[in-house]
Every structure is written in C-alpha cells, then in structure tokens.
Amino acid sequence: MINMTSALLAELQQRELTFQIAGEDKLPEWLNGGSRSLYCGFDPTADSLHIGSLVPLLMLRRFQLAGHRPIALVGGATGLIGDPSFKAQERQLNTPEVVESWVEKLRGQVSRFVDFDAGAQSAVVVNNLEWTRDLDVLTFLRDIGKHFSINTMIQKESVKQRIEREGSGISFTEFTYMILQSYDFAELYKRYDCGLQLGGSDQWGNITGGIDLTRRMHGGQVYGLTMPLITKSDGSKFGKTESGTIWLDAARTSPYSFYQFWLSVADSDAYRFLRYFTFLEVADIAEIERADAERSGRPEAQRILAEEVTRLVHGDAGLAAAKRITESLFSGEPEGLSEPDLEQLMLDGLPSSLLPDRGLPETLTQLLADAGLAASGKQIKDALQRDAVIINGSALGMADNGAVSAVFAADKALYGRFYLVRLGKKKYHLFARS
RNA sequence: GGAGGGGUUCCCGAGUGGCCAAAGGGAUCAGACUGUAAAUCUGACGCGCGAGCUUCGGUGGUUCGAAUCCACCUCCCUCCA
C-alpha cells in the first residue's frame, strides 16, 4: 500500500493529471504515511453532472485504489451561492428547493464512481449544508470571516476579471463563495481528518483559501492538488457538441450518444484522453499509440476510449447498448437490419418517435426538425438540397419536401412500420408507425 | 443621490435615419476529400418549402421610413457623494 501511494503521484504526473500542487514538497511524505482522507467538491448547478466532472470523479477513485479514503462533497450550501471563479458574469440564484433536489441527484451520480465497501478506505459522501445550515451570521463573520483578508481575496486571479473588467461586476454573495468553500475544507479536516482537496485548475484560489483557513482555525497542515483544464487540440471547448453538453445522466445523454462522443474525438486528443479518462496503464496507452501509428487507416484509440469511458459511466449494459446501435448503423447497410434489430434500437436509446397515422406535417423540413434531427427547417432544407437526407436507403431531394405522405407511405416502411432516417453522416432517427 | 459610458442575431464585435435580417471573426450544421478523425475547400447559419413574417434591453413617440432620433422605464460599468 505504501509503495502504491508513492507510485500514485508519479503516475498522475505521467498522465498529466496534476496542474498545481499546494505543499508539493511535503505531500508525497504525507501520502506515504498511511491511508489518508481527501475530498473533492461538486456543486449542484444542474440535475446532473457532465463530463467536465469526470476527471475529478475518476481522481477520487484513483486515490481510493491507491489506498486512500475519498470524500465526495456535494455542495448543497455552495450551490446556493454560486462560484464566481473565472465566470464572466454574476449567476442567477436557484431556489433552495431546486438546489436540494439537484443535490440528491448528484449524490447518486457521484456514488457510482467510488467504492463504499472498502473497509477503512470506504468512500463518504457529504453535503456542506450540514455544517452551514445553522451557522449564524455573527459567528460566521467573527469566527471565519476574521481569518480572511480582503486584500488577499481581491488579488485572486479567479475573481480579478470580475473586479477589474468593465461591463461585469461581482456581488458580495459570490465574493464570499471562497470563504464558504474554505470553511468546508477546515470542517472536513476537523471531522474526517481530511488533508487534501482536489479540484479543477479553476479551483486553485478556493483550495488555497481552505488551506490557509485550516491552518488558522485548527493549526493543521493540509494540501491541495488541481487538475488541468481539459482542452481540445483544435481549441474548441471540450465537452460540448452540436446537441449540447455531454451529461453523465443517461436520461440526458444516452449511452449511445455518450459512446459516439468519445468515438469522434480527434486523433490528436485521443491518447491524452485515454490517460485522463481511463484506468488503462500509461504504458499500455503508449503501446496503443505506437500500434496505431504503424498501421494505416483508422486508429483503435477512439474505440478503446469510447468503450472504457462508457463502461465507467454507464456500465456494461449501457456500453453493450451503445455498441449495438453503433455497429448496426455504421457497419454495413443499416437498411439490412432485421425487425427485432430495429425494435432493439428503440429500446437502446436510438432517437426515435411514433409516426401518427394522420395529421402529418405538410413538409419534411417541419417533420424532421420536430423530430430533432436539426435545429430548424432551414438545416433540413440545406441537407435536402445536398442529398443528405436518406430514408430507408434512398436519398431525398427538395422535390420530396411537400410529399410527406408519399415518402412515408405504408408500402415504403421496413417490415411495414419502420422508417430509418439519416441526416448527414451521423444523425439517425427511427420513425415507427403507430 | 450626482456625472458619464453601455445593453446588437449562440459568443465576440461592426453598424449612428433608407442600399440592414443587420459587416467581420468564432462556434455550429451540411457537402467534397477521408477513417463516423484532423486540415483544407464549398454552401448554410432569425423563422418559414414559398409568398412572407418577426428581430437590435423594455414601452411609447417622431418620421413615408428607426438598431440608428426623442421620452420614460430597466439592467450593467466607471467616477463622485
């Protein structure tokens, strides 16, 4: 166990998962000293986490695998305030009821990534509302606020642009966010002997604030470690696609879509992402890269990445469903699918809808836009003009736009009831007659 | 409370009476090339198949005509009190 621990930091560095470390000279020794408790916070800003939280979640697990105890903190209190770190604008407050319901959702999500049955290293999930709910203002100001220097706080990079930049601003509420998060660290130190906080690189200011507060309130030496911002080689933002954010909740982003997201990662990002998002050995990833480079044609990296991450987030069943759809649609002729195959695709989460017998829209542009294949009829129109709309194997053109009932005639349906519509190369939608 | 500056289509950002559905860039979508990749090239990019309809913080005016002018309201920023 001791050896595993010293190996851990080295491995994280190999994976490029460490960005900044507070107390770097003493952290290895501390980790080597036995099983330690560490935490990472997740604020409820929606009813699901998205893949931006995946790296920290997996980090908790990496530490647990190395013999430490992970504490996942769900920010029932901080979520009520809003973290201003590197945010361009003041955020809208959510109601306590909403935040509370989100907290419960996140609690369940977070729990899937760590082990609660690991003896002394069993994971813990806490809510910082536990120790802030009954904190009264005067106590807060006298016992906690007194330890913070405004001079230091306004120097923090994370709020600097909000303070200096014209056209924005920061409320007192958001400004005090750092104090609340700092207090979390001090409190976890007291309650769980928690000595390390993990977070994204944007959390550096909040983490060091917590380290200072823990020292001042309890005289304790604690540490901080941040992970780099995940970037894409083309400079666009990681984790967003045409259809929006990639969520961890299967109801928001289906395992199929999730799998597809990772499958379409650029070559230049794939090996780095394998190191960030999987538990594959660094050496094995290097071997995959070498093999891909020697072979011509399509690399294996994306497939492995998609499989590993989908399994981590959606389990074996989710991965199986995702692969089933992918293989059906992208290998060979999708129109050659059997009737049970098509039924299975609907169950597996391929976007699908029922086609009413009567009352169909007059144009394909409207019907397909309503089905969610594109954001507007304009985009369908563009696709129609380029022969990019394919229904049951035949391409349609603008001439078909007004002929909805002919296109969806009963005798054109697969097995008398299915229409598989493809828009462009990757977007599919299955219509079934009711 | 006072003075000044600002709020433009997803984002940044031009536009100061008609030539404006609104420059340019980014993002995004589609096509070609490919490997469901990148880069590159092409087209689209408020909504509508179309005629046309609805936009430039909000409301109401002036005008043949307003994102552009006027009044009031609202939100943000800076300085002063």
| Residue–nucleotide distance: A166 CA to B70 C1' (Å) | 28
Q: What is the pLDDT of residue A230?
A: 85
Q: Is the pLDDT of residue A17 over 50?
A: yes
Residue A356, classified by CB atoms within 10 Å of its CB into exposed (0-12), middle (13-18) or buried (19+), is exposed
In the structure, what pLDDT confidence band is assigned to residue A1 with cuts at 50, 70 and 90?
Answer: very low
CA A357 centroid distance within chain? 40
Are A19 and A226 spatial neighbours (Cβ–Cβ below 8 Å)? yes
Q: What is the pLDDT of residue A165?
A: 60
Kindly give, in sequence order, each residue whose CB lies less than 8 Å from that of residue A337, ignoring residues fewer than 6 positions away.
A328, A345, A414, A420
Rounded CA-CA distance A103/A125 in Å is 11
Give the model confidence (pLDDT) of A110-140 as tens digits.
999 999 998 889 999 999 999 999 999 999 9
Nucleic strand B within 7 A of Cβ A279: no
As a whole number, mean pLDDT of residues A59-78 equals: 96
CATH classification of A240-331 is 1.10.240.10, yes or no?
A: yes
Q: A154 or A145: which carries more pLDDT confidence?
A: A145
Note the strand B nucleotides within 7 A of protein beta carbons: 5-6, 26-31, 34-39, 43-50, 76-78
Give the model confidence (pLDDT) of A192-223 as tens digits.
999 999 999 889 999 999 999 999 999 999 99
In the structure, what pLDDT confidence band is assigned to residue A252 with cuts at 50, 70 and 90?
Answer: confident
Interface residues 254-273 of A with strand B (CB < 7 Å): 260, 263-268
Which of A44-48, A213-217, A255-259, A290-294 reaches the highest mean pLDDT?
A213-217
Nucleic strand B within 7 A of Cβ A294: no
Q: What is the pLDDT of residue A216?
A: 96
Are A186 and A210 spatial neighbours (Cβ–Cβ below 8 Å)? yes
Q: What is the pLDDT of residue A2?
A: 45
Mean pLDDT is lowest, of A137-141, A153-157, A202-206, A264-268, for: A153-157
CATH classification of A339-433 is 3.10.290.10, yes or no?
A: yes
Rounded CA-CA distance A145/A84 in Å is 18
ipTM over 0.90: no
Q: What is the pLDDT of residue A209?
A: 95
CA distances from A210 to A148, A178, A277, A314, A391 (A): 10, 8, 27, 34, 58
Mean pLDDT is lowest, of A33-37, A239-243, A248-252, A391-395, for: A239-243
CA distances from A41 to A44, A53, A110, A188 (A): 10, 10, 10, 11
Q: What is the pLDDT of residue A95?
A: 86
3-state class (DSSP) for residue A336: helix
Q: Topology of domain A2-227, per CATH?
A: Rossmann fold (3.40.50)
Rounded CA-CA distance A131/A251 in Å is 32
Are A381 and A398 spatial neighbours (Cβ–Cβ below 8 Å)? yes
In the structure, what pLDDT confidence band is assigned to residue A331 with cuts at 50, 70 and 90?
Answer: confident
Are A355 and A346 spatial neighbours (Cβ–Cβ below 8 Å)? no
| Residue–nucleotide distance: A151 CA to B35 C1' (Å) | 55
Q: Is the pLDDT of residue A313 over 70?
A: yes
CA distances from A23 to A30, A241, A340 (A): 10, 37, 59
| Domain ranges across chain A | 2-227, 240-331, 339-433
3-state class (DSSP) for residue A418: strand
Interface residues 186-245 of A with strand B (CB < 7 Å): 234-236, 241-242
In the structure, what pLDDT confidence band is assigned to residue A243 with cuts at 50, 70 and 90?
Answer: low
Rounded CA-CA distance A239/A250 in Å is 15
Q: Is the pLDDT of residue A189 over 90?
A: yes
Structure tokens that stand for A373 in this block: 């294949």
As a whole number, mean pLDDT of residues A382-408 equals: 91
For residue A419, give the H/E element and its range.
strand A418-423
Nucleic strand B within 7 A of Cβ A378: yes
Q: What is the pLDDT of residue A242?
A: 60
Nucleic strand B within 7 A of Cβ A22: no
Tell me the one-letter amino acid at A209.
G
Torsion angles phi and psi, residue A126, rounded to 5: -125, 160
Are A276 and A230 spatial neighbours (Cβ–Cβ below 8 Å)? yes
Nucleic strand B within 7 A of Cβ A112: no
